Structure 1
Amino acid sequence: MPTRALVFDFDGTLADTESAVLQSWQAVFREHGTELPMDAWYAVIGTQRTTPAMFALLAEHAPGIDPEALRPRTRAHVLRLLENLGPREGVRDYLETAREHGLKLAVASSSSGAWVNPHLERLGLDHYFDAVLTGDLHKAKPDPDLYLAALDALGTTAEDAIAFEDTPHGVTSAKAAGLTCVAVPNAITGKLDFGQADIVLPSFTAKPLEALLSR
């Protein structure tokens, strides 16, 4: 059955925003005299629980912190780190090829629309996508809801679509929705277990999209 649609995760997949977010949280933890345990980070990466989990963990080491007071400063730090960030290498080629083949395209992200949409616009990627589904309107990954919503928005079925993810939580979400899933880990997630993925690529430049479509 031919592929008719591609659904991409955003953070860490289309752009490596996760590195900036991690750096920001590491700086916050160090300011409070402790280190962020990476196992705690990996437990929530790719879900909607990152911020509350980090604040809860920080509170264990620094009782009395005010998350609401810290939130604007941590967000501003992340945005500064992201100012010069572009799409991951090879992403634009994938999107151009998809358009040439007439494929429908969607983003399925656990992050909010207020985070995803401005970044897509800043990166110059927004015009490629027929639909953008976000975690403020749907259940976050690893629940399959975002992918099911993406399929509905594109008017296609799971059998006709390929998902692209960079975290095991994202892969779980895509597979639970019935999609073929290609994992493209980044520098932060490369050591995690992607056994559920149908294909694991070290980068988008490792294999052209045509090779995936012809499987």
Structure 2
Amino acid sequence: MSEWPAPLRGVTETVVTTRGPNGLWNLAALGVHAPERSEGADSASGEERPASHAPPRGAERASGDIASTAPATARTFGRTRTWRNFRERGEGYVQFVDDPVTFVEAALSVAEREEPVLSEAAAWARVDVERTGVEERGETRVATWALSPVESRVVREAVPTTNRGYAAVIEATVAASRLDVPGYDSEVLRERLDYFESVCERCGGPREREAFERLRALSG
């Protein structure tokens, strides 16, 4: 077993590559849910430890901050390519990507690569996946998967920055992916997209604006 190449908290948005029947690696957006916390430090406040104060590698089990037996998890909605490839291959590459265009392509288009690891990835983890549950949400079957890293690597390190335009692009991909899905109000989603686009225009850079143009084209 290996460790995640970066601290996980809440839901971390990633890009996952899974190998399809054509031998190519399909890109998709994947929200990785951090392992459930055990009873211990910080439980009284109900707040998670910020990434900058994460314990050293290997210290989680000793401190009791993270439940030692609880894996990170992710969900697939419906019979997607990721669902199929998880089921048939039992593995994938979870990648930490900060390029907004790559994220939009992964979330809203059918994007495939010949190699599993993306050149845009700052870090990645090859994971074994195991389905742990299935539930019905309206007309959609939702599968929950346990993710267990077996290999990981940090490719590059960077000074963290906060950009509202980038965050707006990520939130917009969620809204766009739910357009015309039963149970969601498309008019409300389009209003959200308009708002996120205005944030991107005010706060984003050229790459964020290019990502939003691509998002509009893919979502119609």
TM-score, structure 1 as length reference: 0.31
Structure with more relative contact order (C-alpha pairs < 8 Å, separation 6 or more): 1
Higher relative strand content: 2
Higher relative helix content: 1
TM-score, structure 2 as length reference: 0.31
